[in-house]
Amino acid sequence: MNYSLENYNPNDIAEENGNFLGLPFDYESAKLIIFSVPWEVTVSYHQGTAQGPERIAEASLQIDLFDFDHPEGWKQGIFVERHTQEMLEKNEYYRGQAKSIIEHLAKGLKISDSQDLQNILSSVNHACQQINQGLFTECQKALNLGKKVAVIGGDHSVPLGYFQALATKYNNFGILHIDAHADLRNAYEEFEFSHASIMFNAMKIPQISKLIQVGLRDICHDEVEMINQSNGRIIAYYDPLIKQQLYSGKTWLNLCQEIISHLPDKVYISFDVDGLDPKLCPNTGTPVPGGLELEQVYCLFREVVNSGREIIGFDVCEVGDAEWDGNVGARIVYKLANFLDLSQK
């Protein structure tokens, strides 16, 4: 790969050089490092999100670099740290192990009835913990070098190690969470690091002072109770109530400004693509009717920047194993990269 911008023309056809968008940057020269984490061991519905990072990388080569919010945003330098074949193989193995647990529970049986299943559960939880620790180490290394970091999954369990790394750098930040699900379940299906438990685990990190959730529409009673009893630390904007306000004449821009008013100065964006209308990413892990349009979400992020808040990082998760999903996912990643850079100007 040629790391010099001297002969790089952003109008040319993207080079298949292994990097996101075919950009001419490496780890050292890039300002933003994107870690690819193809992990979906605890997925409870559709498989395929482990292939999401690869579909995003492939589709990114078809994206033109001019961005209406930040035309020169690509110049910040973006580099994708690609996952290893070993991680894919581990994902496949432990996904098979986790599936036996899920199938057992679906029959109304208990894990405690089988020592073999207890051992499997322990090994799956340990493997997920190792993924978290590995990502924590890599993110902390990049942050200590003065770089910004992003993560692409995989299922939504993957960014936990990054949250923990950010907590070593910032003593107060908020998460703006786009999702159809609250992900506030305590060890869903007995997996400590389930995709449905990512925000429950995030709330164990004291440096995360606010969790603002937008687009929720598939949620359990315990999660609603946790939100209601959080003393304002968690604020939910449920999709049906958003729609009702819009139908009643409230503008989306005003609602975006209200949502953002709850956030502290430092903002992390966690984007599960099932928060969108499922026509946009139909092969996501757990699709739900309803949801947001992509430009609505971009408007929300734009207002984060306009408010003077700093975007400190982001993740994009649950992109399915299909060309169209990868296309949409790649555009989200690039737009978030540009908003992140723009927020620091």
Question: Count of residues for the chain?
Answer: 345
**C-beta of residue 285 within 8 angstroms of C-beta of residue 43:** yes
Rounded to an integer, what is the distance from CA 28 to the centroid of its chain? 24
Distances (CA, A) of 338 to 141, 162, 200, 266, 345: 22, 20, 29, 16, 11
User: How far apart are alpha carbons 192 and 130 in whole angstroms?
Assistant: 12
Looking at residue 4, what is its pLDDT?
65
Residue 177 known to bind ligand: no
What are 115's two structure tokens? 């020592």
For residue 34, which phi and psi values (nearest 5 degrees)?
-105, 120
For the chain, state the CA radius of gyration. Answer: 19
Residue 325 known to bind ligand: no
Extract the residue ranges of the chain whose pLDDT is less than 70.
1-4
Buried b (16+ CB within 10 A) or exposed e, 142-155: bbeeebbbbbbbbb
For the question of whether the overall pTM of this predicted structure is more than 0.85, the answer is yes
CATH of 20-343, one of 3.40.800.10, 3.40.50.300, 3.30.530.20, 1.10.10.10: 3.40.800.10
Q: Residue 21 — left, alpha, or beta (φ > 0 → left; ψ -120 to 50 → alpha)?
A: left
Residue 46 known to bind ligand: no
**C-beta of residue 275 within 8 angstroms of C-beta of residue 294:** no
How many C-beta atoms lie closer than 10 Å to residue 308's C-beta? 8
Looking at residue 108, what is its pLDDT?
87
Q: What number of CA atoms fall less than 13 Å from residue 58's CA on the CB side?
A: 12
Domain ranges of the chain: 20-343
Looking at residue 84, what is its pLDDT?
85
| Coil vs helix vs strand at 185 | coil
**C-beta of residue 264 within 8 angstroms of C-beta of residue 210:** yes
Nearest to 138, CA basis, from 156, 118, 159? 159
Looking at residue 83, what is its pLDDT?
84
| Coil vs helix vs strand at 208 | strand
Looking at residue 2, what is its pLDDT?
47
Q: How do 78-81 and 234-238 pair as beta strands? A: unpaired
Residue 277 known to bind ligand: no
